[in-house]
Each structure stands twice: as C-alpha cells, then as structure tokens.
Structure 1
Amino acid sequence: MKLRQFVFIATLLTAAAIAGSGPRSAGPAPVDSGPANAEPVSHTEVVDLNGLPDVEIGATEEELTARGILRADVDACGPLLTGHETVSPVFVDDRLVLLWAGEPMSTPEGVSAGSPVAEVRARYPAASRLDAPQGTYRFDGLLARRGDRAYLFLHDGEVVHKVITGYADWARRLFHEGHGPC
C-alpha cells in the first residue's frame, strides 16, 4: 500500500471521528425492499458491491484514466473520480480495491452516511460487528459481506458516518489497520 494511501485513510478516519461530534442527520427515507430486489433511494446516487456504473471495482488506474474518469491533475492527496466528487478511490498495486462513499451516495438498499445503525442491521442482518480499538478516535464498523465483496459501514453506534465498498479482504484490512484512500 502506498504511503499516501495510508496517510489519507488515517486522515479520513480522524476527520470522520471529529465530524461525528456534530449534529446528526436523520438519514434517508426507509426503503422497504431487501437486498435481492432493492430499489435505490431517489435523492441519492447508488454505489454497489461492483462499484459505480462507470467505475468498477478491480479496474486499473490506467483504464480509468484512459476513459477520463480518473483525474490526478488536481491538488488533492490522491486521484479523484470525475463526476463523483464524494467518492474516493483506493488503489493497491494499480487496481481499484475500495471506494469511500460520502453523501449523497447510498447502497442499493438505501443505506448512506447519516443512516441509523438500526437500519443497517435491518437491511444487512448477517453483517459482522467490528469494534474499534479502545482509546482511539476510530469508528466501530459493520461488515456486510457477499462473496469476495463487502460494504463496510463506519458508525458511532447511532448513525453511519462512512460507507466503503469493494473487496471484502481490503475492507476488513482497512478497518483493522486504519488506512484511507490517499
């Protein structure tokens, strides 16, 4: 993992922890459908276990740059996705392994930043609980895995602060090691 990725993930986790002390959003309207026949929430964009419609988990930096989706020409800690300003890509060995998704992004089941943790548990009943190390400013997590892919929901016990999607092993590693997209 690149040093810039480590630094950015650590920065995002710290910023998310600090942001968690402010006002809380009520979250999106409930969605009645389950994962098999889920409908996206109308006011959000959907990020699923495969990524975004034009940004696939597993794609290379070269592929995304050639298609004009990945931009490295801006003053940021890492590349940005054209048209997806609230989504940060995480690359390992030139492959996209994770996407950090902020508002207004949601899963097909309607879970986004600001969603109550109870809603996440209802939508993903098999999600594994991940406890942040004591004495850190990191969030707890819920890992909803399907095959080699997963959603990682970082939360403060009440609401989701960040939705991360991609390869399950990288999501778990990110949680335990505290890395980010830069």
Structure 2
Amino acid sequence: MTAASIAGSGVSPQGPMPPARPVGDAEVVGLDGLGGIEFGDTEQELARRGVLRAEVDACGPTLAGHEEVSPIFVDDRLVLLWLDDPMSTPEGITVGTPVSEVRVRYPTASRLHAPQGTYRFDGLLARDGDRAYLFLHDGVAVRKIIAGYADWARRLFDEGHGPC
C-alpha cells in the first residue's frame, strides 16, 4: 500500500473534526497536519521549503522548529506524525491526559489491545474518514499520540513499530 493510495479526507459519523487551534501552551496537530506541513507532502517538498532537516543525532528526518514531532514517511510521502508533549489535538488531548478524558472527547474511538507478553501500550484509534489519532496509553494516561492516515496508524499499532 502506498501513501498516495490513501490520500484524501472524509467525515466520520460524529461529524468533522474541529479546526486546529492553540490549547494553552500546546501546539495543535489536526488531521490535515501541522502548520503548513500536510499529510501526503513529499520529503523533497518539505526539504525544499526548509521544513525538513536531517539531524546527525536523530533517528530520521526532523521538522524544523518542532522537536516534539517525529515525521514518518512511506514511499516519500508523510503518512504519520508522532507527537510528544506539549503537542495537542484540537480537543485538547496531550501526552499525560487521562484515558477517561480521551474516551469522553472521542466517544467512537476503537479500543486496541496490545499483544499479551509485550511491553507495548494499548491504544485508542479515533478515526475521521481516512485520518485518525492513535492514542497509546498505559490504562491510566496517554503516553504517545500518533496522527495521520488511519490505515498507517493501525498498521503501526498492529506491527509495533516506533518512529526510529
């Protein structure tokens, strides 16, 4: 499957996601992307615009000015963003948010169970058309947030890969 084959956007039964807006000190990542960085953008386009950097001590390319975000590319297209504190969803979910609050803000999120005997987190997958947020949690609080194409978020959860 290629990133190009999963491009596009839809609307979930719960309606369209609200537009990205600042939440406290957090920078908001919507299901289109992050401040001019959109899912489906190519590595070359982001590098040409000066948004993508190759850091020596990083495990892959980084986004200029966004050290809390790890981009994931497949077939040269941006498919996912791994988010760390202080990044936020438009609904105000950040790393450290209680799982109960995620369930209130995303009531249709699918519960995903990590394989037994692993050190992986359980997840909640909140889909909106072909996009989603994947909230990895320890049963109490969110530990990681992944935003992007829903199929790639689900695949990442199923296969257990990280950003490196």
TM-score under structure 1 length normalisation:
0.78
Structure (1 or 2) with the greater helix fraction? 1
Q: What residue identity is the alignment partner of 1:122?
A: V
**CA 1:51/1:121 → structure 2, altered by over 3 Å: closer, same or farther?**
same
Gaps (5+ residues) in structure 2? 2-15
- Find the counterpart in structure 1 of residue 84 from structure 2: 102
The residue type equivalent to 1:56 in the other structure is: E
Please state how far the C-alpha of 1:74 moved relative to its aligned partner: 2.8
**Percent same amino acid at aligned positions?**
72
1:85 to 58, 67, 74: 67
Structure 1 match to 2:7? none
Deviations 1:71-115 (A, max 9, x none): 014321100100000000000000000000000000000001000
| Alpha-carbon distance between aligned partners in 1 of 2:75 and 2:20, rounded to the nearest angstrom | 33
Gaps of 5+ in 1: 2-33
Give the TM-score, by structure 2 length: 0.87
> Following superposition, which runs of at least 4 residues in structure 1 exceed 3 angstroms of deviation?
34-40
User: In structure 2, how many angstroms separate the alpha carbons of the residues matched to 1:92 and 1:133?
Assistant: 25
Residue matched to 2:48: 66
Cα RMSD (Å) of the superposition?
1.8
Higher relative contact order (CA 8 A, sep 6+): 1
The secondary structure found in structure 2 opposite 1:46 is: coil
Question: Contact 1:90–1:180 at 8 Å: present in 2 too?
Answer: no
The size of the alignment, in residue pairs, is 150
